[in-house]
Amino acid sequence: MGNEEQVPSESEWRIMEVLWESEKPLTSSEVIRRMEENGGAMTPKMIRVLMNRLCQKALVDYTVDEKDARLYHYRALKSKEECLREKSRKFADSYFSGDKTNAVAALIQSCGFSDEQLEELEQILKGQKENGKSGEHRGIF
């Protein structure tokens, strides 16, 4: 599968959030319950369909319960940070023809950062510059 297929959609992202927050693998029923507790508007059937898509995208994997073969325990295969990097790359490629500088500039200009947040961004940029090649160490892009 290509990179584009490895990025969770907005709805899939909500499911990934539930899996990332959990310290252990979850059954689909547990995912559904947690999403309902968070005010989710998706039906249980839709959640199961999206979980299946996440498995097809190799973003989620499952193991079969030892005592009940009808129960699957799901876990995220990619970290939130990995998915954020991939989503950021896709965003820069889609809307800025891969020009990361313009993508970052557009975000900075549209978000209205506080002085404290701008200082934090400056520190991130300094760290990237000191580490050599930007993006490979900790950066989103």
Judge whether residue 89 has pLDDT over 90.
no
Tens of pLDDT, residues 33-52 = 999 998 878 999 999 999 99
| Domain 3-76 of CATH type 1.10.10.10 | yes
**Single pTM value for the model:** 0.73
Question: Is the Cα torsion angle 120, 125, 130, 134 positive or negative in sign?
Answer: positive
The H or E element spanning position 64 is strand 60-64
CA distance between the termini of the chain: 21
Taking the domains of the chain in order of start, what are their residue ranges?
3-76, 81-130
